[in-house]
Amino acid sequence: MQNNQPNERRQWLFVVLAGLFVTNAVTAELISNKLIEIPIEGFFFGQKIGPFITIVGILPWPIVFLITDLLNEFYGHKAVRRISWITAGLIAYCFLIVGLSMAVPAYEIEGSKLATNAAYNLVFGQAQAVIIGSIVAFLVSQLLDAFIFDQIKKKTGNRFIWLRSTGSTLISQLIDSYIVLYIGFVVPGSMSLSTFFEVAPTNYFLKLVIAVLLTPLIYLGHWWIRKYLGIKKS
């Protein structure tokens, strides 16, 4: 009997990685209606920088970065493209359900800590305004990330994991950080241009810092998956 264990492991690994990818991407979109302050300050070329203002939706993105890299590496850029299209559709579906839930009146009980119509719509209403920007930014950035990653790998082979990982993120997240904020917040009038030009660069800078800090985890992930799938390093 033929041993199908390697194929089963590869399939199960893809299911887990894809599930984590979709979950973190959808979660990031849902929680983006909140600005947070990163209490980090310092000096750069004599100029004071920080504290940084960004959206709380940045929190799940380190997982998205890590999984995007692993999917690119072990399943190819076509797999990343497909899962990106599927995720975009699921994000749209999620926002559709949220929109329907907003249309259903809340049964308000005096003294209850459950959300009222006003509170519920205040939080999730903004999410509806972000939907177009979110989906466009997500698709463009992920497809571009997969393409750049693939091009770098073709030229460098299995060397320089950090280069294809950070290099693809460097360009793709520049687009993501600006598109989603502009279409999702500036166009609907929820954010002024001055705030946009304060938050967008910060959002991009933090994503780059996160991408760099994730480098050891990316190498660890590569090592573990190769061991799990029985792949010998070439």
Chain segment 153-202, per-residue pLDDT in tens: 887 777 777 777 777 777 777 777 787 778 767 876 767 888 888 778 77
Q: Would you say 20 and 63 are in contact if contact means Cβ atoms under 8 Å apart?
A: yes
CA distance 17 to 202: 28
Q: What is the pTM of this model?
A: 0.79
Beta bridge partners of 47: 44
Taking residues 99-118, report their average pLDDT: 82
Residue 217 has pLDDT above 90, yes or no: no
Q: How confident is the model at residue 127 (pLDDT cuts 50, 70, 90)?
A: low
Taking residues 130-136, report their average pLDDT: 72
**pLDDT more than 70, % of the chain:** 88
Q: How far is CA 121 from CA 74, 109, 127, in A?
A: 42, 17, 9
Per-domain boundaries in the chain: 5-229
The residue among 172 and 131 whose pLDDT is bigger is: 172
Q: How confident is the model at residue 234 (pLDDT cuts 50, 70, 90)?
A: low
Q: How confident is the model at residue 1 (pLDDT cuts 50, 70, 90)?
A: very low
Chain segment 6-30, per-residue pLDDT in tens: 788 899 999 999 999 999 988 888 8
Residue 86 has pLDDT above 90, yes or no: yes
Of how many residues is the chain composed? Answer: 234
Q: Would you say 124 and 98 are in contact if contact means Cβ atoms under 8 Å apart?
A: yes
CA distance 142 to 28: 14
Q: Which CATH architecture has domain 5-229?
A: Orthogonal Bundle (1.10)
